[in-house]
Structure 1
Amino acid sequence: MPSVSSVRIPGLATGMDTDTMIKEMLKGEQSKVDKAKQKEQTTKWQQEIYREIIKDTKGFEEKYFSLSSKNSLLSSSAWSTLTVTSSNPNVITATGNAGANSMNYDFNVIKMAQEPKLSSNKTLTNESTLKELGLNLDETFAISFGKDGKGLSKEINIRTEPVYEKDDSGNDKLDDNGNKIIKEPADTIGTLINKINDSTSGEVKASYSEITGKFTIECKETGEKSKIEIKKGTPSVDVDGNTTVVYDQPSNALDFVFGVNNNSSIGENSQIEIKDKDGSVLKTINEEKNIFTIDGININVKGLGETKLTSKQEVQPVVDNMKAFVEDYNKIMDKVYDLLTEKKKVDYPPLTEAQKEDMSEEEIERWEKKAKEGILRNDSEMRKFMDDMQKSIFGDKMSILNDMGLTSHDDYNKKGQIALDEKKFIKALENNSDKVYQIFAKDDSSVLERMKSTIKDYTGGSSSIFARKAGLEKTASAVNNFYSEQLKRQEEGIKKLQRKMSERESQLYKQFANLESSMNKLNSQMSYFSQM
């Protein structure tokens, strides 16, 4: 047992083993410290186990409930039993949604959907100043963009001459070489591009090509309803004499770049022919975008030309993903159920430091594995989590889910787990995959959306149930939670007990030191009398 006393006086006069005697006298205090540390260790383990469940649950959520995951079950395409193949992926690629119609048609892309675009009619450089290109005066114009005449207008100010810094007298400031100090430079094609891009938040893109020497402004939206236009403002004065500017008239502000009266552009729709096996045109479609859906199949137009789209029914990928989902879910529920039901090993409390000194690492590991058992037995939050997950799955859909092959597990030892009857599930998919998708994932009342909502209640953020109990990483709850607060109090209690033990230890050493001193005096006197 370590001591805070810096002085150790062995029992030279008394013949007593002082250290051993004091250690024995402090056994009661040491026992209190050990028990407090054991309780603290149990709390740490409880928090660690909770955080393992949180990690497992969030990993499960990200795998099956995130639309960006390849295993996501929330998208319609995840429930599609239709595999679509394109003979020329450079023209069109396609994927089926749940309930999609069979596909066996030729597609001829005559024209792709285009965005509205203005392009310079002369060769420029990025450093070309607007004055060099023909702009003589500073101007203000607006770029209007959007669909159906409901475009937004963003004001752009362009400058032909630089603005110089002035002193207090209004004179131009000069640098050490006698040159005027520029406050704002004159605009170039490069600075004009930056102004347009900064003001339109990505909805309009201005760019310059070193290869072609062209300056272009194009709208993000494609289709004939999308329009981009350069407008001039109409000033108006209200009754209070305040002037406002409404940009509502076509402007020739950039004639020196785009050419006279070339101040607006309208996008174009695609033109795609759909033909039967005999080559007859069944339908010509015009779409505003190059990505659209027809007969439940997602079409992504990549280029001009012809391709053949064919489909076949294939349920196995959907079944395999569902089987993996059930297996991963059951692993979590199995772990939680074990935590709730395993009995506590009363003969295996957390080890003290003294006990660990006499054990190997393997022995300590085996002991602590048993010591952790049962420390969350009948935990109320864990039990409610299991119950709420079960309710979110079946709720009022027990009968229809059973018909589709999903049931609660009939093994009593697998409480909270679910079972999948593959034959029933395959039959449901083959008969009506869209209905399966509707029940499992289509809207907020579906099985998976309810599961996602329940998981969010327990692990979704700082205020979630498990976060308040054990804390979520990278949130305020990481330190502000039930277990962390317990650990703070336990740590303070341990320090208090250790201080008391140290004070008691110091007191005992002082008493033994006094005894030694007294015995030394007595021995000296006895020696004196003996010599007499």
Structure 2
Amino acid sequence: MDSGMRMTGLASGMDVDSMVTQMMKAERIKVDRMEQDKTWVEWQREDLRSMNSQFQSFRPSSTDAIFSKSTFTGSVATSDNKDVVTASASSDANEGTYTISNISQLATAASKGSTGDIADNLASDAELHNIRDFDIAENTDFTFEISTADGSKEFTMNSSDSMQDVVDKVNNSELGLNAFYDEETRQFSMMRSETGELRNDGSDEISIETDNAGFIGSLNLGAEDVQNAQFELNGMAMEKASNSFEVNGLDVNLKSTSADPVNIEVGQDKATAKEAIMNFVDDYNELIADANEKTMETRNRDYEPLTDTQKDEMSEKEIEQWEEMARSGTLRNERSVSKALTQMRQDFSEDVDSTNQDSDMTDMTDIGLETGDWRTQGLIEVDEAKLDKALEKDADAVYEMFNADGGTHAEKGIARRLRDTVGDAVDSMSRRAGNENSITDQSHTMGKEIERINDRIESFEERLADKEQRYYAEFTRMEKAIQQNNAQMQQMQSAMGGMGGGMMGGM
């Protein structure tokens, strides 16, 4: 029966709406339970997606330091006087001691500049902003040419051009020059951007052909100033155009002159390899600890997901605190995460059957990596002294422990195994929980489960609506029966009243 046709207690005096609401509240308990189940699965999906993101962040990449051969085979150079000489070594540098001594001069860039105030060459009262201030006739074109080791270029100027125009043209000429004009001192200068003597023909590093207007001559440019660095390397006299140069894989930078010898020690760069391994282990342990915590967390059955009615009766702070307790255990024994954890522990602990047959390093304990007791839940502990010793003994073998690339799982290094395992785990979790870019809930297992719960809720809501209508129909029939009964009673009372009045009149 339509709610507009309901008879709500007019005859009985009963609060029918309230009574139906109370009767339906008991019926809605099942719907509330399904809504809570849906919320729980949604929480599981959110938390599994979050865990999946952590796995993706950890997943070793080919660009990571742990995969780079140079991380394990690099060299390091150490200077005993960094104020005079600094150095860095490539992996091609030979180990040993390099001595640089008798640094008599550093390389300087070639330069030419005005030898003094060029006022004597100016027209009377000129301030030298423009070329015509040199007493060059107005609207006069003239050319001059500059050549360097980078090439040569002819410049065409006009007497109406400013000194800044000259500077700009020289600087933009791709001749490797930096020109400058100081209006206060009225001096002009040019300097090469590179140091040293770069031209092999003995000519000036900055060669200028004068112009027919006399502009270049008016600048009073002095003699060129340039020099190479001069020093001794392991007792051998050397000369370099630059203060920074490479010798046998060693990059050297001369910073100051000095007669005293500076020793540069080149050796194996154990620190970089150790740092890469320590960072890799730290990232691994962080992921394992978080995953262990989530998969072992117990669900708090005293705190179920809140219904909408319950939330309406609570403050936002109370809801937040409740759901923090209710959300525990969402990933307890979650199979995709638990499987990944088991395999990751095996990836670290199983021997590496490297193709490097000369190495006796096959187990992670050989390089100072160990799992603690059962309480550490698979976390890796590092014996730094043992790791240092392994790197010093055979850095290539340590590299193979992480990066061996055989055809079988046993022949792969630890990092490669973990890359495979984590990749499989990411795919498995995505199939279970999807991701933020999932188009529909049908694309993953948990989404399908949520849709099934939604279907059950919708079906049950329809049944509840039908039941509510039946309750109102029953009350309506009761109301009608009471009305009919009341009407009959009134008729009987009226009839009896009429009979009583007739009898009194007969008497």
TM over 0.5: yes
C-alpha distance in structure 2 between counterparts of 1:194 and 1:492, whole Å:
72
Q: Is the Cα contact below 8 Å between 2:112 and 2:189 reproduced in 1?
A: yes
Q: Is the Cα contact below 8 Å between 1:85 and 1:311 reproduced in 2?
A: yes
Whether 1:324 and 2:278 are equivalent positions in the alignment is yes
Residue 480 (structure 1) aligns with:
437
Q: How far 1:528 moved relative to its partner?
A: 3.5
Relative distance call for 1:423 and 1:76 in structure 2 (3 A) is closer
Residue 26 (structure 1) aligns with:
28
Could you tell me which of 164, 168, 189 is aligned with 2:164? 189
Could you tell me which of 79, 83, 94 is aligned with 1:84? 79
Q: What one-letter code is carried by the residue in structure 1 that aligns with 2:104?
A: I
Whether 1:309 and 2:262 are equivalent positions in the alignment is yes
Residue 71 (structure 2) aligns with:
74
C-alpha distance in structure 2 between counterparts of 1:221 and 1:214, whole Å:
22
**Over residues 434-478 of structure 1, what are the superposed CA-to-partner deviations in whole Å (9 max), with x where a residue is unaligned?**
x6379649xx9899xx9889999999xxxx88887889xxxxx98
**Over residues 384-419 of structure 1, what are the superposed CA-to-partner deviations in whole Å (9 max), with x where a residue is unaligned?**
877888999874348637199427747797769586
Could you tell me which of 43, 46, 54 is aligned with 1:44? 46
Q: Is the Cα contact below 8 Å between 1:467 and 1:481 reproduced in 2?
A: no
C-alpha distance in structure 2 between counterparts of 1:376 and 1:254, whole Å:
89
Q: How far 1:91 moved relative to its partner?
A: 2.6
Identity of aligned residues (%): 13
Could you tell me which of 207, 227, 230 is aligned with 1:271? 230
C-alpha distance in structure 2 between counterparts of 1:157 and 1:497, whole Å:
88
Q: How far 1:301 moved relative to its partner?
A: 1.8
C-alpha distance in structure 1 between counterparts of 2:7 and 2:214, whole Å:
101
**Over residues 311-335 of structure 1, what are the superposed CA-to-partner deviations in whole Å (9 max), with x where a residue is unaligned?**
6789996797477346425515744
Relative distance call for 1:155 and 1:521 in structure 2 (3 A) is farther
Q: What one-letter code is carried by the residue in structure 2 that aligns with 1:289?
A: S
Relative distance call for 1:326 and 1:29 in structure 2 (3 A) is closer
Relative distance call for 1:223 and 1:382 in structure 2 (3 A) is farther
Residue 112 (structure 1) aligns with:
106
Residue 180 (structure 1) aligns with:
none
Relative distance call for 1:391 and 1:338 in structure 2 (3 A) is same
- Paired residues in the alignment total 441
Q: Is the Cα contact below 8 Å between 1:470 and 1:482 reproduced in 2?
A: no
Q: Is the Cα contact below 8 Å between 1:60 and 1:328 reproduced in 2?
A: no
Q: How does 1:169-180 map to 2 (within 5 A)?
A: none
C-alpha distance in structure 1 between counterparts of 2:196 and 2:287, whole Å:
50
Q: What one-letter code is carried by the residue in structure 1 that aligns with 2:285?
A: K
Q: Is the Cα contact below 8 Å between 1:104 and 1:311 reproduced in 2?
A: yes
Give structure 1 stretches of 5+ with no counterpart. Answer: 162-185, 232-248, 276-281, 472-476
**Over residues 260-291 of structure 1, what are the superposed CA-to-partner deviations in whole Å (9 max), with x where a residue is unaligned?**
999xx99864222347xxxxxx1222234323
Relative distance call for 1:73 and 1:515 in structure 2 (3 A) is farther
C-alpha distance in structure 1 between counterparts of 2:205 and 2:79, whole Å:
40
Give structure 2 stretches of 5+ with no counterpart. Answer: 119-127, 407-412, 492-507
Task: Give the secondary-structure state (helix, strand or coil) at the position aligned to 2:329.
Answer: helix
Whether 1:406 and 2:363 are equivalent positions in the alignment is no
Relative distance call for 1:256 and 1:325 in structure 2 (3 A) is same
Q: Is the Cα contact below 8 Å between 1:336 and 1:386 reproduced in 2?
A: no
**Over residues 25-56 of structure 1, what are the superposed CA-to-partner deviations in whole Å (9 max), with x where a residue is unaligned?**
33444444333332222111111112233445
Q: How far 1:353 moved relative to its partner?
A: 1.9
Q: Is the Cα contact below 8 Å between 2:79 and 2:87 reproduced in 1?
A: yes
Residue 422 (structure 1) aligns with:
385
C-alpha distance in structure 1 between counterparts of 2:147 and 2:349, whole Å:
53
Of 519-528 and 388-397, the range deviating more from structure 2: 388-397
C-alpha distance in structure 1 between counterparts of 2:347 and 2:199, whole Å:
48
C-alpha distance in structure 1 between counterparts of 2:350 and 2:141, whole Å:
68
C-alpha distance in structure 2 between counterparts of 1:296 and 1:323, whole Å:
25
Relative distance call for 1:383 and 1:106 in structure 2 (3 A) is same
C-alpha distance in structure 2 between counterparts of 1:496 and 1:258, whole Å:
95
Residue 353 (structure 1) aligns with:
306
Q: How far 1:107 moved relative to its partner?
A: 2.5
C-alpha distance in structure 1 between counterparts of 2:447 and 2:114, whole Å:
69
Q: Is the Cα contact below 8 Å between 2:84 and 2:254 reproduced in 1?
A: yes
Q: How far 1:96 moved relative to its partner?
A: 6.1
Q: Is the Cα contact below 8 Å between 1:319 and 1:426 reproduced in 2?
A: no
Q: Is the Cα contact below 8 Å between 1:230 and 1:253 reproduced in 2?
A: no
Q: How does 1:432-447 map to 2 (within 5 A)?
A: 436=395, 440=399
Q: How far 1:515 moved relative to its partner?
A: 5.3
C-alpha distance in structure 1 between counterparts of 2:455 and 2:140, whole Å:
80
C-alpha distance in structure 1 between counterparts of 2:320 and 2:361, whole Å:
50
Whether 1:300 and 2:253 are equivalent positions in the alignment is yes
Relative distance call for 1:214 and 1:44 in structure 2 (3 A) is farther
Q: How does 1:72-151 map to 2 (within 5 A)?
A: 74=71, 80=76, 83-86=78-81, 89-94=82-87, 101-103=95-97, 105=99, 107-115=101-109, 128=129, 136=139
Q: How far 1:380 moved relative to its partner?
A: 7.2
Which of the two has greater helix per residue? 2
C-alpha RMSD over aligned residues: 6.6
Relative distance call for 1:16 and 1:364 in structure 2 (3 A) is closer
Q: Is the Cα contact below 8 Å between 1:229 and 1:250 reproduced in 2?
A: no
Task: Give the secondary-structure state (helix, strand or coil) at the position aligned to 2:240.
Answer: coil
C-alpha distance in structure 1 between counterparts of 2:140 and 2:350, whole Å:
71
Q: Is the Cα contact below 8 Å between 1:113 and 1:222 reproduced in 2?
A: yes
Residue 238 (structure 1) aligns with:
none
C-alpha distance in structure 2 between counterparts of 1:110 and 1:328, whole Å:
49
Larger Rg: 2
**Over residues 45-69 of structure 1, what are the superposed CA-to-partner deviations in whole Å (9 max), with x where a residue is unaligned?**
111112233445689987x5699xx
Relative distance call for 1:428 and 1:528 in structure 2 (3 A) is closer
Q: Is the Cα contact below 8 Å between 2:347 and 2:418 reproduced in 1?
A: no
C-alpha distance in structure 1 between counterparts of 2:18 and 2:28, whole Å:
17
**Over residues 72-129 of structure 1, what are the superposed CA-to-partner deviations in whole Å (9 max), with x where a residue is unaligned?**
983866x54x74321xx433234567776454846233333345567678889xx956
Q: What one-letter code is carried by the residue in structure 2 that aligns with 1:292?
A: F
Q: Is the Cα contact below 8 Å between 2:71 and 2:276 reproduced in 1?
A: no
Relative distance call for 1:55 and 1:104 in structure 2 (3 A) is same
Q: What one-letter code is carried by the residue in structure 2 that aligns with 1:111?
A: Q
